[in-house]
Amino acid sequence: MNSFRPLPPARGGTYVRMMQPGLIPHLFRTEFRKITAVLCKVFGMEHIEVAEDLASETFLSALETWPYKGIPENPTAWLYLVAKNKAKNYYQRNQLFAEKIAAKIKTESPEATEIEINLSEENIADSQLQMLFAICHPAIPMEAQIGLALRILCGFGIEEIANAFLTSKEVINKRLFRAKEKLRTENIAIVFPGNNEIQDRLDTVLTTLYLLFNEGYYSESQDAVLREDLCLEAMRLTYLLVEYEPTNQPRVNALLSLMCFHASRFEARRNENGEIVLYQDQDESRWNEELISKGAWFLHIASQGKEMSRYHIEATIAYWNTQKTDTPEKWENILQLYNRLLRLVYSPIAALNRTYALSKVKGKAAAIAEAEKLELPGNHYYYVLLGELYSEIDNAKSLQHLQQALQLAKTETDKRTIQQKIITQRRKGT
Amino acid sequence: MDEFMLIFRHQDGNKIASPEQMQIWMKQTMDWIGGIAAQNKFISGNGLFFDDAKIVHANRMVTNGPFGEIKETIGGYIMVKGNTIEEAVEFAKGCPILQGEGNTVEVRRIAKADGIH
């Protein structure tokens, strides 16, 4: 069961270095979940572990074969072929397994003598969407749903999920175990639910995709390529929802719009050393115009109708952030949007961003008064904000807050960014 | 943490101000509520229309209303979270309707399912 992550550095290290670096991890990120979803659909949710193991073994084969025989011309097709063969072998070999699932497969295709594994683009898309809806079944608690989706549909490791939920690996393991039991006992089918049920589950599905995208976008990991894969995967799944008529709804388009606007800054977010470049320091000529127009397009579609979801609000804020010029209109709009977002759903980051927007509209003094009421001790971004607000008003206090932020920051990137701010602030004198 | 209702009593803004002025007040209200929401203390809120308001009396008689002092009419409310009534009162002090002479914000603790209410 724990063959899920077949890439411990000690094992793969020397081999992989001879090949395109990161090729197999990349393929693992994009293909593992597709293979799992298709196999799981064929075998049924109760055999989810078999599907995961077969997908893992497929990647193990690649690790063992490619360094000696060379990378196949079409690595993805190679993986699919191996996965298919492994699934067929498993089916034929494992009598016990065959007996258990034979009945299910026969009823679905009466004349089939052997299983059909269809890894076409269309069937992968359908299987993943159906899996997404199966996971978001109301019998499963929301937190477990998101954990399962991250695990099964996105190939996250237990530790990454634990990080995303700010909890321990043990808690996540227990949660996933119980959720998988539930999928089994409730006998949840991997099919598109009926129209009403789709509407009931859509919000959970969207939350899952939103968290998945955020995990990639804001992750503390240094591995930029891997993180962008996650974002692109979330966008791809969201796009599938837009393409599927019953789920092509305003809030789905709004979420996709939000993702496009954020993704447009992938390139500009990193300098040549791979370090994070903050928004205000980004070279906007490196923003991706195509993704910005796509974002605008999906926001336009999303705005038809009366619905105003949190994704609408966040996408509109993201739209204003693509206008780099500071105008009173821009900040007034952003402030009102944050006011609205916070009324709908609170988050510390929205509270901090709102206060920053407030400083742009009403000045630093007014923003300081509100910032002091936020009560976010322990949040280093809070002290970064205070440092920013006090700059040129009370430089000594500004420095104090930045130093507090430095103490609380956890990642190297954050620490470097804050140190840079401290240096700039020192130049201003105290 | 307790919950409080902040009840606004004021004149119908539409009767005394231009649409532009109304928009300014609306923005102020949104900024005020946004500040409470940024502290994760906002629960919900609404404005109440003055037009069409009715009063239903004990004998089921229905009259146009409300009567009484015009500035004592309820124009809206918000619900907030707070540790003490004083904290809720601090929120109330920021309410933009208090710019109007005679307007008030009434602060009331909400009775939860305490077995009595």
A303: amino acid identity, one letter: S
Please report which confidence band the pLDDT of residue B38 belongs to, taking 50, 70 and 90 as the band edges. Answer: very high
Tell me the chain B residues in contact with residue A340 when contact means C-beta distances shorter than 8 Å: 30, 34
pLDDT number for residue A112: 45
CA B90, B96, B99, B100 dihedral sign is: negative
Closest CA to A155 of A60, A7, A36: A36
Tell me the chain A residues in contact with residue B39 when contact means C-beta distances shorter than 8 Å: 351, 373-375
Contact B37 A339 (CB under 8 A): yes
Contact A350 B35 (CB under 8 A): no
Closest-CA distance, B33 to chain A, in angstroms, reads: 7
Closest CA to B106 of B91, B117, B15: B91
Q: What's the whole-number average pLDDT of chain B?
A: 90
- Residue that the structure tokens 């990080």 belong to: A163
What does the DSSP 8-state code read for residue A126? H
Interface with B, mutate which of A339, A354, A373 (most B CBs under 10 A)? A339
Q: CB count, 10 Å around CB of A271? A: 12
Q: How far apart are CA A106 and CA A93, in angstroms?
A: 17
How much is the pTM? 0.80
More reliable by pLDDT, A273 or A96:
A273
Q: How far apart are CA A152 and CA A146, in angstroms?
A: 10
Q: What mean pLDDT do residues A113-123 have?
A: 80
Residue A316 has pLDDT above 90, yes or no: yes
Residue A410 has pLDDT above 70, yes or no: yes
Interval A30-85: pLDDT, tens: 788 899 999 988 888 878 888 889 999 999 999 999 988 888 999 999 999 999 99
Q: How far apart are CA A212 and CA A147, in angstroms?
A: 10
Interval B52-81: pLDDT, tens: 889 898 999 998 877 666 667 899 999 999
Closest-CA distance, A309 to chain B, in angstroms, reads: 16
User: Percentage of chain B with pLDDT > 70?
Assistant: 91
Q: A148 and A180 in contact (C-beta within 8 Å)?
A: yes
Q: How far apart are CA B41 and CA B33, in angstroms?
A: 10
Q: What mean pLDDT do residues A204-213 have?
A: 87
Alpha helices in A219-288 (DSSP H): 224-243, 250-263
Question: Which one of A270-274, A406-410, B111-115 scores highest in mean pLDDT?
Answer: A406-410
Q: What mean pLDDT do residues B4-27 have?
A: 91
Produce one character per residue of A28-50: b if its CB has 16 or more CB atoms within 10 Å, e if not. Answer: bbbbbbbbbbbbbbbbbbbbbeb
pLDDT number for residue B69: 62
Residue A2 has pLDDT above 50, yes or no: no
Query: A377 in helix, strand or coil?
Result: coil
Fold of B2-96: Alpha-Beta Plaits (3.30.70)
pLDDT number for residue A8: 36
pLDDT number for residue B117: 58
The residues of A whose Cβ lies within 8 A of any Cβ of B are: 335-336, 338-340, 342-343, 346, 350-351, 354-355, 358, 370, 373-375
Q: What's the whole-number average pLDDT of chain A?
A: 84
Contact B40 A351 (CB under 8 A): yes
pLDDT number for residue A7: 37
The B residues from 11 to 30 touching A (CB cutoff 8 Å) are 27, 30
pLDDT number for residue A18: 47
Q: How far apart are CA A423 and CA A45, in angstroms?
A: 56
Please report which confidence band the pLDDT of residue A10 belongs to, taking 50, 70 and 90 as the band edges. Answer: very low
Please report which confidence band the pLDDT of residue A275 belongs to, taking 50, 70 and 90 as the band edges. Answer: low
Contact B40 A346 (CB under 8 A): yes
Interval A138-196: pLDDT, tens: 888 877 887 888 788 877 778 777 766 667 889 989 998 888 888 888 888 888 888 88
Contact B38 A351 (CB under 8 A): yes
The residues, ordered by sequence, that sit 6+ positions from A131 with a Cβ below 8 Å of its Cβ are A37, A40, A41, A152, A153, A190
Interval A239-271: pLDDT, tens: 999 999 999 999 999 999 999 999 998 888 877
Domain residue ranges in chain B: 2-96
